[in-house]
Structure 1
Amino acid sequence: MINKQLLNSEKLLLLLQLCNSSLPLGAYSYSEGLETLVEQKLISHYQHLKSWLLNELTYGSIRVESAMVMRAYDSYLTQNIDNLLYWNNWFSASRETFELRQQSWQMGKSLLRLINSFEPEDSFLQTLINNLKSSANYSIIFGIITAHWQIEKENVLLGYLHNWVNNLVNVGVKLIPLGQTDGQKLLLYFNQEICQQIPDILSLKDDELSSCSWGLSLASMSHEQLYSRLFRS
């Protein structure tokens, strides 16, 4: 019993390390369109940001992105390289804008480099690294490494979605700006919302991989034309 508890604790620590903001992936460099929306005064206070993030979580592309994590997770467990390459290419094609695609690729490549140093002796991982290194999406690589570490699916999604919300709340704290207390209140609110979304994401079929993120697309396309920018997307 104690050994099982220790094993579960170790896997939780691995997930916490993977989701820690100190992991050198560059996530802090991206606002995913929020910088545009703040500049245009469409998001200017706590409630605006809360509504935006809730709509994205419920209907937006983060649901598809999270579903990609699960497909990569399952494909790794069956060691199906063709499936992994298919979903990686599919997700690249589904990215709405150049900036969002570059964000996914840059963070994916950064995570690949870390995996290469974490697990240099694993031959299957090395084969995947060689096949994916030119256009590796972050969600795909996240699914691969969490499957390799045998972290439970539900916990993988909890970590991935919390990481997403945490990054964008930090963007709001910097740009709107929000107070640190309001930022923590938002994170606390989204804990329950994330938990409610997990069963739906896990049950998404391939023909249900769609989203309603037209606001994100327009914000992202406009971002590169801003007079001044703090973020890369």
Structure 2
Amino acid sequence: MAITTTSSALLRLLQLSSVSLPVGGFSFSQGLESAIEQGWIRNSKQTAEWLRWQLTESVARIDLPVLFGAMSAMSEGHEDGWRNWNDRSLANRETAELRLTETAMGEALQRLLKTLDIPHPDPQGEVSFVALFAVAAQHWSLSPALTAQGFVWSWLENQVAAATKLVPLGQSQAQLLLGELQPDVAIAITQAETLDEFSMGGALPALSLASCWHETQYSRLFRS
């Protein structure tokens, strides 16, 4: 999938994937805080390994296929198709906390889309963040591949920011980590392009356990 852009599209992508987008992405560690509490992650190398596995086995196999499918449905004006991808996104969240991450950010993005007068389908239930991310991207005529880069980068930046506080990492270490994981972004997008609604789906038992344990973790900084 070729990546093409214009100046206006690039600016919209930066707006949509910015850490300042008011959707609360910084509030969720997605199991990372619990993994550190368990002693699984103690340094930058272990952080990179944790994020790389999550990127290739979860983001690439769940979030990105949903993103591509939801964008395709919106481009065809197929709202029921979009709802199908929205529901698939939520169904693939293995714990209450991972689902909370998806729905809380989805509700925040839904409010933002209303403020920006961006029309979006009624999800007829809980709403997925990545499905609404696709709506905004399609509204602004962003290409799927470009949108995927922005989405993954936003996810990765939030996770590294969480690791910076929790491991902890220094600011320079965090920047080195972002650079180290950049090639994996392209790998994840290429992998996701081969998947459809019948082949998507991921399973990371350690992530699921960490997410479950985080729900009752005595002292924590993040919502999930």
TM-score by length of 2: 0.94
Matched ranges for 1:24-35 at <5 A: 24-35=22-33
Instruction: For structure 1, list consecutive stretches of 5 or more residues without a partner in the other structure.
Output: none
Query: Separation in 1 of the partners of 2:186 and 2:198?
Result: 23
1:66–1:201: 8 Å Cα contact kept in structure 2?
yes
Does residue 154 in structure 1 map to residue 145 in structure 2?
yes
User: Is contact 1:61–1:213 with CA below 8 Å preserved after alignment?
Assistant: no
Structure 1 length as normaliser, TM-score? 0.90
- The separation in 2 between residues aligned to 1:99 and 1:167, in whole angstroms, is 17
Q: For residues 49-96 of structure 1, give each alpha carbon's deviation from its aligned partner in whole angstroms, at most 9, with x where no partner exists.
A: 001111111223553111111111000000111111112112212211
Runs ≥4 residues deviating over 3 A: none
Aligned to 1:199: 190
What secondary structure does 2:222 align onto?
coil
Distance 1:62 1:98, change over 3 A: farther
Measured on the aligned residues, the alpha-carbon RMSD in Å equals: 1.6
Residue of structure 1 equivalent to 2:107: 109
Corresponding pairs, count: 221
- CA shift, 1:133, in A, is 6.7
The residue that corresponds to 1:182 in the other structure is 173
- Structure-1 separation of matches of 2:90 and 2:128: 7
Name 2:80's counterpart in structure 1: 82
Residue identity opposite 2:172 in structure 1: T
Larger of the two Rg values belongs to structure: 1
Mapped contact 1:61–1:210 kept (Cα < 8 A): no
Paired with 2:124 and 2:132, the residues of 1 have a C-alpha distance of 10
The alignment status of 1:135 with 2:126, answered yes or no, reads yes
Cα distance in 2 for residues equivalent to 1:25 and 1:58? 24
Percent identity of paired positions between Structure 1 and Structure 2: 33
Alignment gaps of 5+ in structure 2: none
Secondary structure of 2:53's counterpart equals helix
Please tell me whether the aligned partners of residues 31 and 168 of structure 1 are also in contact (alpha carbons under 8 angstroms): yes
